Amino acid sequence: HSVVITGTGLHQPPYTITNAELVESFNRYVAQENTRHADAIAAGTRAPLQPSSVEFIEKASGIKQRYVFEKEGILDPQRMYPRYQERSDDQLSMMAELAVAAARQALQQAGRQGVDIDAVLCAASNMQRAYPAMAIEIQQALGAGGYGFDMNVACSSATFAIEQAVNAVRTGSARCVLVVNPEITSGHQAWNDRDCHFIFGDVCTAILVERADSATAPVQWEVLGTRLATQFSNNIRNNFGFLNRSEDSDPQARDKTFRQEGRKVFKEVVPIAAAHIEGHLADLGHVPAAVRRYWLHQANEGMNQFVIKKLVGEADRERAPLILDEFANTASAGSVIAFHKHRDDLVAGDIGVICSFGAGYSVGSVVVRKR
Ligand code: CO8
């Protein structure tokens, strides 16, 4: 069966943290820690923490602000992480709630209802719990049939899930698949680490994938092909996990949350991503210059400029729109936000590429054509 994307949704958190607010709170934390350890610092047995700066953040990343689901806890120098209320088992869990909100928008765009869905894939960099799968809770909340499962390929979770959705529809095992990407990055971002405290933002996206012959959406994007690739690297790592307890290691410890060698990631991933896209397009009979839009992973402005330069010879904001200035890095949701917000001006026949790259390393590309 031919496969189309018929709708997308974007659930945006209610709070914004600007770089100025973030840096102000971080620098208060630094001053507080340095005072607390003043003796050790004076004795030379401990290095003082260094302050962050708005200028550095904007220049190094292109990020100007981020959205978060809770703000006070993050900006409290005594805490430096969000404050979420634990929910009972009979309440809808947080990730499911976000996913349902984004999914409803995608359904509305596609002219569908929950009951039309027959598979739900919840794909994100972190899952709130091990089981029951978030996707099954979301399936129930939407009144969907079929099946659901969770998957995690860090920043490439969305594109990898789209390939699973496309294959399920193509082979006939499902007619309509919902992919959701609830990325609550604030839950485990190291807000007290200068090297990465500015990187991430919260969001949830949704994508609906259907059989072309029964889709009724006013606007449809035919999936011409998907391609996934992975290559092991320790340069982006999160060691938080269920064995922490048995290993007698502290799940709160700095090395158990997100950390990366940003420079290495930048240098190594740019060529991998550009070659991946070029190879995928070539196999589909297209050249990069003929692609009207690239909805790229949103981790770093410079990185996207390099990728697009390699592909079409010049950095082109119109051809590869940026959303990370407003949203920061939203892990797997970034390229989906770009697709959600920057596609209305394309005309029938135009080709675009949704492409993610990140931890793993992982790269996923989805080539679409407007119908
Ligand atoms: N303020 C002031 N100075 C700073 C700060 C700061 N906040 N941070 C670092 N510095 C200093 C450093 O100490 C360093 O000083 P020195 O030169 O004296 O050593 C100097 O500034 C330069 O530091 P860097 O080399 O680290 O700076 P870069 O120019 O490389 O910029 C970036 C850092 C922005 C991180 C950049 O390297 C980057 O964006 N790289 C790409 C990273 C990337 O794409 N990663 C993908 C990550 S996401 C993913 O795949 C999985 C996500 C899973 C979700 C997780 C949810 C939490």
> Residue 331: CB within 6 Å of ligand 1?
yes
pLDDT in tens, 300-322: 999 999 999 999 999 889 999 99
pLDDT at 150: 98
Kindly give the distance from the C-alpha atom of residue 74 to the centroid of ligand 1, in angstroms, as a whole number: 19
Assigned domain for 345 exists: yes
The DSSP bridge partners found for residue 229 are 363
Note down the domain range covering 315.
221-370
- Ligand 1 atom having least distance to the Cα of 197: 7
Q: Does 5 reside within a domain?
A: no
Cα-based distances in Å from 320 to 100, 253, 308, 309, 357 = 29, 37, 7, 10, 15
Nearest CA to ligand 1 atom 32: 262
- Say what the pLDDT of residue 1 is: 84
Give the residue ranges of the chain where pLDDT is below 50: none
Nearest-5° Cα angle at 328, 327 to 331: 100
- 61 Cβ closer than 6 Å to some ligand 1 atom: yes
Instruction: Please report the sign of the dihedral spanned by the C-alpha atoms of residue 283, residue 285, residue 286, residue 287.
Output: positive
Q: With a cut of 0.85, is the ipTM above it?
A: yes
pLDDT score recorded for residue 254: 86
The pLDDT value given to residue 335: 98
**For the whole prediction, is pTM greater than 0.90?**
yes
155, 176, 204, 355: the catalytic one is 155
pLDDT attached to residue 316: 86
pLDDT of residue 191: 96
- The phi and psi torsions of 181 (rounded to 5 degrees) equal -130, 75
| Contact in structure between 249 and 243 (CB atoms under 8 Å) | no
Considering only CA atoms, which residue is closest to atom 47 of ligand 1?
358
Answer yes or no: is 350 within a domain: yes
Specify the residue with its C-alpha closest to ligand 1, atom 8. 195
**Token pair 């943290």: residue:** 17
pLDDT at 21: 98
DSSP 93: P
Instruction: Tally the domains of the chain.
Output: 1
Residue 358 lies in a domain: yes
Packing angle, helices 19-36 and 54-61, rounded to 10: 120
Cβ of 56 less than 6 Å from ligand 1? yes
Which stretches within the chain are classed as H helix?
A: 19-36, 38-43, 54-61, 72-75, 94-110, 134-142, 157-171, 262-283, 301-312, 324-327, 334-341
What residue owns the CA closest to ligand 1's atom 42? 262
Whole-angstrom Cα distance, residue 305 to residue 315? 5
Q: Say yes or no: CB of residue 323 within 6 Å of ligand 1.
A: no
Q: Which amino acid is at 305?
A: Q
Q: Domain for residue 237, yes or no?
A: yes
Question: Which residue type, as a one-letter code, is found at position 362?
Answer: S
Which pLDDT does position 253 carry in this prediction?
A: 87
Is ligand 1 within 6 A of the CB of residue 195?
A: yes
What pLDDT sits at residue 45?
Answer: 97
Q: How far is the centre of ligand 1, averaged over its atoms, from the C-alpha of 255 (Å)? A: 16
The answer to whether residues 288 and 353 touch, using CB atoms and an 8 Å cutoff, is no
Q: In the structure encoding, which two tokens stand for residue 367, read together?
A: 């080539």
For 115, the 3-state DSSP assignment is: helix
Residue 73 lies in a domain: no
**Domain of residue 323, CATH code:** 3.40.47.10
Q: Which of 154, 156, 150, 148 is nearest to 174 (CA)?
A: 148
The reply to whether ligand 1 has any atom less than 6 angstroms from the CB of 155 is yes
Quick check: is 202 in a domain?
no
Cis peptide before 321 (omega within 30 of 0): no
Closest ligand 1 atom to 297 CA? 44
- Among protein residues, the one with the nearest Cα to ligand 1's atom 15 is 195
What's the gap in Å between 262 CA and the centre of ligand 1?
A: 5
Rg of the chain over Cα atoms, rounded to whole angstroms, equals 21
* 355 counts as catalytic: no
Side by side, the strands of the sheet bearing 351-358 are 147-151, 119-123, 176-183, 203-211, 3-11, 221-230, 362-370, 351-358, 293-296
Cα of 73 vs centre of ligand 1, distance in Å, is 23
Tell whether ligand 1 has an atom less than 6 A from the beta carbon of residue 181: no
CA 201–ligand 1 middle distance (angstroms)? 15
Q: How far is the CA of 8 from the centre of ligand 1 (A)?
A: 30
Q: Please enumerate in sequence order all residues whose Cβ is within 8 A of that of 278, keeping only pairs 6 or more positions apart, or say none.
A: 288, 311
CB of residue 303 inside a 6 A radius of ligand 1: yes
The answer to whether position 39 is within a domain reads: no
Distance 30 CA to ligand 1 centre (A): 18
Residues 6+ apart with CB under 8 A from 293: 319, 320, 321, 342, 343, 346, 350, 352, 353
